[in-house]
Amino acid sequence: MKGNIKWIVCLTVIIGLVALPLLMETPAFADKLSDSIQQAVGDGKIDKKAEPGFLGIPGAPGVNYILGFLWAIWVGWIFSTVGAFGGIMAGVGHITIFGLGDYAKDFGKGYPLNKLVTDSIRVSNQWLVGLSGLISSTNYYRMGRLVAPLGICLAIGGVGGSWLIPDLTAGKISLKAYIGYFGIAVLALGIILFRETTAGGQAKRKKAKEAAAAFEKQAKDGGDTKKGVKVLEGSWVMMFVALGVVVASALWANLAGGARWVAYILALAGWGLTFFIGTIRFTFFDVEFKFKAFIPMLGGIFIAALASFLGVGGGFLYVPFLTSVAGLPMFLVAGTSGLVVLVGMIVSIFSYMVGKGVPVQWGFIGAELLGIFVGSMIGPRTSKYIPDIWLKRLFVVLAFYVGIRYITKGFLGFSIVPPF
C-alpha cells in the first residue's frame, strides 16, 4: 500500500514537473494575445496608442495591485473562517471588482479578445486553487492520509472531465454566459448554506453533536488515528491502465495538432475501463469499506467538469460527494480530494495555457497570494468573536446577492439587484 502511494505521489510530481514548466510559456502565448490585439485594433475596437492595461492590452483596465491585494485579504479571511466560499469570492474579484468582466463584455459575444480575457480570468482562478492543492496534498501525504485507489478512481474521471469541458467551451463561451453559470453555482452554494442555518438544519446539527458526545468515551479509550488503510481487493493494474488512458487523452488533446476524435475515444475508453475494476475493499481503523470503482469516477467527471468550467478547484464538491454520496469517513477523502484537485487543475491549466494559449498576469497572482496570506492571519483572530451561525448567515446573504446578480447579468444582460 505504502509503495502504491509512493507511486501515485511520484506520478503526480512527474506530471507536475513536466506539465508545469511546459504550460508556463507556449509559442501560442504571445501569438494569440498579439493576434487578438491586432484584430481588435484593425476593427477599431481598441486604440493602439492607449495606455496598456490588463495583459498589456492597450486601453484595458489597469490592474490595480493594491486593490487586488486588499480583495485577496477578504478572500483569505473567508478561507480561514468559513472555508469554501473563498474560491467563489476570488472569482467575484476577477470578474467584477477589477472591472475585467465589463471590459471583456464590451467586445461582444464570440470576439477573440473577449474569449482571451474570459479564459485568462478562469486560469487566474485555477492558479490560485492549483497552488493551494499542491501544498495541501503534500501535507496530507506526509500525514499518510492519501487513499490510493480512491485517488486514482477520482482522477480517472477528473482528468478526462477537466480537459474535455475546457475543450468544448473555451473560446466558445462568452464572458456573459460564463458569469451566468458562475452565478448558478454561487446560488446553489447559498441554498446549501441556507439549509444549514434553518431550524431544521440546526436541529440536525444538535442531534449530531449529541451522537458525537455519546461516543466520546469510546474515542478516548479506543481512538487511534495512526491506523491506516489496508486494501483487500481491487485491480491495481486495471486502475493504472485506465488512468494512463485518460492522461493520454488529455495529452493528445493538448499536444497533438489534429485528429481530436482520438482524444475523445481515449477518454471514453479510460472511463469504460473503470467499470472493469469492480469493487474495491479496504479496511480503515479495522472497519471494512467497499465501493464500486465507477462511483468516484463518475463523481470525478462531474465535479472536475464543473470546477474546470467555473475556474474553481472543486474541493468543496469532492469532500461532500465522498462523505455523503459514497458514505466514506472524512479522513479518507480529506487528503485524497486535495490530490485530485491538484491533478485536475494541472490538466485544466495545461489545457488552457498550452492548448489554447491563454496568458495570465503573474504579478497580480503574486499580490493576491500575499493578500490571502494576510487574510488567513486575520481570520482566526476575528472568528472567535463571530458565532458560526452568523458567519453562515452572512455568506448566505452574500451568496444570494452575488448569485442573483450574476445570473441576471449573464442571461438577461442586466442585474436586477444594485448596482444595475
Partner 1 sequence: MGFFAWLMELVDAFLITPYRWPQDPVLGWWLGTFILALWSTILGEITLAIAFRANRFHVTKTTNEMAEYHDRSMNALKAGNKGAYKAINKLANEAFGKTFFLQIAMASASLWPVACALGWMQARFSNIRFPLPFTLPVLGETAGYAFIFIPLYILTRIVFGKFKRMIISKFVDR
Residues 92-131 that bind partner 1 (CB under 8 A): 127-128, 131
Among 54, 71, 74, 79, binds partner 1 (CB under 8 A): 79
Residue showing cell 485518460: 246
Q: Which residues contact 220 (CB under 8 A, 6 or more apart)?
A: none
Residues 6+ apart with CB under 8 A from 293: 149, 153, 234, 239, 274, 275, 277, 278, 279, 280
Helix (H, G, I), strand (E, B) or coil at 46: coil
286 forms part of the interface with partner 1 (CB under 8 A): yes
Interface pick for partner 1 out of 194, 236, 240, 285 (rule CB under 8 A): 285
Chosen residue from 3, 44, 287, 385 binding partner 1 by CB under 8 A: 287
* 248 near partner 1, rule: CB under 8 A: no
Single out the segment in contact with partner 1 by CB under 8 A; choices: 1-9, 15-23, 38-46, 148-156: 15-23
Decide: is 364 part of the binding site for partner 1 (CB under 8 A): yes
**Separation in Å, CA 216 to CA 212, 224, 288, 331, 385:** 6, 13, 22, 18, 27
Shortest distance in whole angstroms from residue 300 CB to partner 1: 18
For the segment 338-357, give every residue that binds partner 1 (CB under 8 A).
338, 354
- According to DSSP H, which parts of 287-387 are helical? 294-310, 315-320, 330-350, 362-383
What radius of gyration, in Å, describes the C-alpha atoms of the chain? 22
d(CA 310, CA 399): 16
Sequence letter at residue 286 = D
What is the spatial distance between Cα 155 and Cα 158, in angstroms, rounded to a whole number? 5
Q: What mask, x for binding partner 1 by CB under 8 A, covers residues 32 to 61? A: ------------------------------
Give the nearest distance from C-beta 19 to partner 1 in angstroms: 10
Among 275, 276, 373, 390, binds partner 1 (CB under 8 A): 373
The correct pick among 314, 315, 344, 403 for binding partner 1 (CB under 8 A) is 315
Measure CA of the first residue to CA of the last residue in the chain; give whole Å: 56
β pairing state of 229-233 and 287-292: unpaired
Q: How far is the CB of 131 from partner 1 (least distance, A)?
A: 5
**Which part of the chain contacts partner 1 (CB under 8 A), choosing from 44-52, 78-86, 96-104, 177-185?**
78-86
Look at the block and give the residue holding cell 473563498. Answer: 86
Residues 143 to 202 in contact with partner 1, rule: CB under 8 A: none
Among 88, 334, 340, 343, binds partner 1 (CB under 8 A): 334
Minimum distance, C-beta of residue 108 to partner 1, in the bound complex (Å): 28
Query: Do residues 186 and 403 touch, judged by C-beta distance below 8 A?
Result: yes
Between the CA of residue 5 and those of 2, 12, 149, 303, what are the distances in Å?
5, 11, 9, 23
DSSP state, residue 122? H
Q: Which stretch binds partner 1 (CB under 8 A): 23-31, 155-163, 170-178, 181-189?
A: 23-31
**Span from 38-46, 229-237, 373-381, 395-403 in contact with partner 1 (CB under 8 A):** 373-381
For 385, other C-beta atoms within 10 Å of its C-beta total 6
Q: Which is nearer to partner 1, 133 or 190 (CB)?
A: 133
Closest to partner 1 by CB, 145 vs 176, is 145
Cβ distance to partner 1 smaller for residue 111 or 119: 119
Q: How far apart are CA 190 and CA 254, in angstroms?
A: 35
Tell me how far, at minimum, the Cβ of 105 lies from partner 1, in Å.
26
Residue from 203, 255, 386, 416 touching partner 1 (CB under 8 A): that is 255
**318 touches partner 1 (CB under 8 A):** no
Between residue 198 and residue 227, which ones bind partner 1 under the rule CB under 8 A?
204-205, 207-209, 211-212, 214-216, 218-219, 222-225
Contact 12, 247 (CB under 8 A): no
In whole angstroms, how close is the CB of 346 to partner 1 at the nearest point? Answer: 12
Contact with partner 1 (CB under 8 A) among 272, 362, 386, 412? 362
The answer to whether 141 and 12 are in contact (CB under 8 A) is no
Q: Which of 316, 352, 395, 400 binds partner 1 (CB under 8 A)?
A: 316
The CA distances from residue 339 to 27, 63, 343, 354, in Å, are 29, 32, 6, 22
